[in-house]
Amino acid sequence: MTQPADPTHRQYLEALQRLGPERRLLKAFELSEMTRALFWSGLCRRFPNLSEAERKAIYLERLAKCHNRNY
């Protein structure tokens, strides 16, 4: 695996490598939750006139496109 050119990204990866397995797993969960929150926030800004139920339907539909794919 090649190292990224961005020194900040490289430092971030090095910091992750210093964490133990449990802490890395917790960090992965934290980042996943943050990503979902940002995704939801973006939908709220993009579709301000939709009801929460309508936004949730879009949210779930788009998440389903990302899951269970054979890459």
pTM: 0.69
Nearest residue to 27 (alpha-carbon basis) of 36, 40, 16: 16
**Domain spans in the chain, listed from the N-terminal domain onward:** 20-66
Q: Residues 27-62: pLDDT tens digits?
A: 999 999 999 999 999 999 999 999 999 999 999 999
- pLDDT at residue 6, as a whole number: 85
Mean pLDDT of 7-14: 89
**Could you tell me if residue 68 is left (phi over 0), alpha (psi between -120 and 50 degrees) or otherwise beta?**
left
- pLDDT at residue 1, as a whole number: 53
- pLDDT at residue 63, as a whole number: 86
